Amino acid sequence: MPAKRRIGLLAGVVVLVAAAAHGALWWWAVTAMEREVAATLAAPPAAGWQASAGPLERGGWPLAATVALPGLAAAGPLGGVPGNILRWHAARMTVSIALLRPRTLVVELSGPQSLQLGPAPPVPVSAGEFRAEVPLEPGVPARAITIDATALTAGPPAGTLGVARLHIAAEQRPAALQGEPALTLAIAAHGIALPSAQAWPLGPTVERFLLDLAVTGPVPRQPDLALRAASWRDGGGAAEVRRLELAWGEVTLTGSATLALDAQLQPMGAATARLAGHAAALRALTASGLLAPRTAMAAGAVLGLMARPPAGGGAAVVEVPFSLQDRTLALGRIPLVRVPELVWHPPQ
């Protein structure tokens, strides 16, 4: 047999063996994923929850192992509170693992969705794209997730809330030591279209909302919310808003805060807010009737004295300290409003 023919035959055998090995790997991966999805539907990890879907569909060949769940429905107590039932329906969910990224689980939603809390009517939800990624570690429950969505809308046509782009990143660290973040959460929302059924003082669109939050302290496991909150407080738990930014019309608000729970399990803490465009905010609040003209004039005079031009130029910035203690929100030493009591045990 000529050498060229032997080489070609050998190459063909190698290709066939590689294709067979790849097919076997895909079959093993999609079978394992299908088994895990079916087990999760039968016994959701959250207590009290139930889930169902239509017949599972395999796919993704040759680059990924994919399992689709048509007609997905899930229901269970929100926040572990009995009777506070949340129901979610999605036309289709796709769960996949790329063969070249075996440690990343990708979840995508397509088609219409709906959310319903308790006896309230269902809220329709839709998204141009909705994708979540979950890092996987062998033998360890998932601890982190990132979510990206575009053209997200929720609500009926007259009261629809829309978000052009949304990014959420969350990570839980159950083994965090005291003082270390046990939970981190970052939210970035751009192009927030507020419901048109209501007039908004600063305009119908919030340009951006950014939040960077870290929660320190233990991760209690008690089923009772009040006991869970008390354990978190007694273990030195605190929530630190490391960054908050809101750009709405002519107004930009940035700030930071630290919050905890007092002896009565009520929020307490301190915050610093930096406000640019306070004159525009006061004008808008006055025009909408939310603020009396004389009150707005007095507030404008005080804020004008506190305003300082930023180093890089632009609108003057007012920096003000807030505190929350004994359910009273205060600006400096001036009480502003009495905060409603936080009830840990809902009425039966």
Q: What are phi and psi of 205, to 5 degrees?
A: -130, 130
Mean pLDDT of 24-50: 82
Kindly state whether residues 119 and 191 are assigned to the same domain.
Answer: no
Whether the bond into 62 is cis, omega within 30 of 0: yes
Kindly state whether residues 113 and 230 are assigned to the same domain.
Answer: no
Mean pLDDT of 50-67: 89
Give the model's pLDDT for residue 239: 93
- Considering 24-33, 73-82, 171-180, 319-328, the range whose residues carry the highest mean pLDDT is 319-328
| pLDDT of 51 above 80 | yes
Provide the residue count of the chain: 348
Kindly state whether residues 57 and 178 are assigned to the same domain.
Answer: no
Q: What angle do CA 320, 324, 325 make, to 5 degrees?
A: 140
pTM of the model: 0.84
Show the domain range for 181: 158-279+307-348
Residue-by-residue DSSP string for 285-320? HHHTTSS-HHHHHHHHHHHHHH-B--TT-SS-EEEE
| pLDDT of 167 above 90 | yes
Give the model's pLDDT for residue 22: 46
Whether residue 246 is contained in a domain is answered as: yes
Number of domains in the chain: 2
Q: Domain ends where: 133, 155, 177?
A: 155
Q: Domain ends where: 155, 171, 206?
A: 155
Give the model's pLDDT for residue 347: 46
| pLDDT of 225 above 70 | yes
Contacts of 151 (CB under 8 A, 6+ apart): 126, 127, 128, 129, 162, 164
Percent of the chain with pLDDT strictly greater than 70:
89
Q: What angle do CA 290, 294, 299 make, to 5 degrees?
A: 80
- Cα separation, 2 vs 111, in Å, equals 58
Mean pLDDT of the chain: 84
Kindly state whether residues 171 and 255 are assigned to the same domain.
Answer: yes
Kindly state whether residues 134 and 252 are assigned to the same domain.
Answer: no
Give the model's pLDDT for residue 348: 46
Whether residue 4 is contained in a domain is answered as: no
Kindly state whether residues 148 and 25 are assigned to the same domain.
Answer: yes
Model confidence band, residue 110 (pLDDT cutoffs 50, 70, 90): very high
Q: Which helix (H) or strand (E) holds 170?
A: strand 161-172
The two three-digit tokens of residue 212, written as one number: 């960077």
